Amino acid sequence: MPRIRAQPHLKSFQDLPRLPRPSWSLALVVLIAYGSLLLVSLSELNPDWLAYRLFYEDGGAWLSEQGRDPAFLALNALLGSLFGPGGYDAYRSFLACYFLAFTIALARGRVLRLQLRGSGHVVAALAMIYVGFARFTIQIREGVAITLLLLALGLFERAEGQPTPASRKFQALGWVVIVLAALTHAAAIFVVVVLVVARMATPQSAEPTLLAGRYRAICWASALVTLVGLAQLNFGGALESLAADTVGDRLFFESTELNPAQLAFWAIYGVVCLVLLREVKAITTTEGRHGLYSSFLRVLAGPAVISTYATIVGALLLSVSPLLVANYTRLLHLFLALVLLMVAASGHRRWPLFAIGLFLIADQLRIIAAAISIYFGVDLLPT
């Protein structure tokens, strides 16, 4: 990807050049995919349908009692006052329209800069579908948060290569939006942590993507965090209590003994993590990308993803309760969704990315089928 050159002095955001727009074919594919998914999701066969009805009708229910996700509770209250006590269906329809509008904007390059060529459109479409496959249909609280995360990342990306005044404006607005995302869903807090760490390792000049010494320190620190986390999950501690408190209605798979099939399954996820890390290194190193956006991508795909994946595998080997592992699994899915989309947006179109997109979407479908089987007793999984 060519380096983005600085523009002349800009007095306002409106003076900035528009992002390149891909063809309408990508937006049409994403529109059809999400239109179908969202239509199907507006049903009581949705695993979280009753949970969000309780949030809507009971002032946030246990989220309010635990003081969690205040921004989502504020949105919930605002829409509740708009649609009234019996307006849950209208509430869900409104959010579905929001997600649909967001995905169209994403596919048109209005959120992240899309530099797509040829089959790169296919990889980008798969990445966009994976981002919201479950989040925009079932886990809508996380869905709202990830839309805010992507808006913030788009602002950080646009700050790259701009003169200092414009760059600072975009970065300041990006920090505001990403903090709002963290107040919408707790998982976004970890993305904020990754961004803060990446900022600490990003030089002020526009030369290397990361300061090598600081990046190595981040890698060592993430390894230590992984070991401490596994010890806490295995022997008990504050982390175990926090994970147990945040599981709530998140049981998306049954508790089973670890077997060779599960080991093979998670080995595939290990390959996914390593391939994405390789692609990120290509983007941020050989193609000369620099700035906070690129540093964030490198730290996210490296220490953050690998540490989360290692914690999941270690917890499984230590026979930690699947209820606790579920939190880390969802966090890994969030990280992978951001990495895959950011890599796809850069125009990479190698066949491994296509295979990764299909695998991740298929696994999301498996998780949703497992959730329906658990909550409604409808066996959708092969025995």
The answer on pLDDT for 152 being more than 60 is yes
Q: Where are the domains of the chain?
A: 21-376
The answer on pLDDT for 189 being more than 90 is yes
- What pLDDT is stored for residue 120 in this prediction? 82
Model confidence band, residue 8 (pLDDT cutoffs 50, 70, 90): very low
Distance CA 360, CA 173 (A): 31
Model confidence band, residue 376 (pLDDT cutoffs 50, 70, 90): low
Q: How many CA atoms lie within 13 A of 170 on its CB side?
A: 26
Cβ proximity of 275 and 356 under 8 Å: yes
Which among 304, 280, 267 has a CA at the least distance from the CA of 353? 280
Cβ proximity of 210 and 184 under 8 Å: no
The answer on pLDDT for 4 being more than 70 is no
The answer on pLDDT for 183 being more than 60 is yes
Residues of the chain above pLDDT 90, percent: 44
Q: Which of the two residues, 239 and 222, has the higher pLDDT score?
A: 222
pTM: 0.86
Which among 103, 90, 94 has a CA at the least distance from the CA of 132? 103
Cβ proximity of 170 and 159 under 8 Å: yes
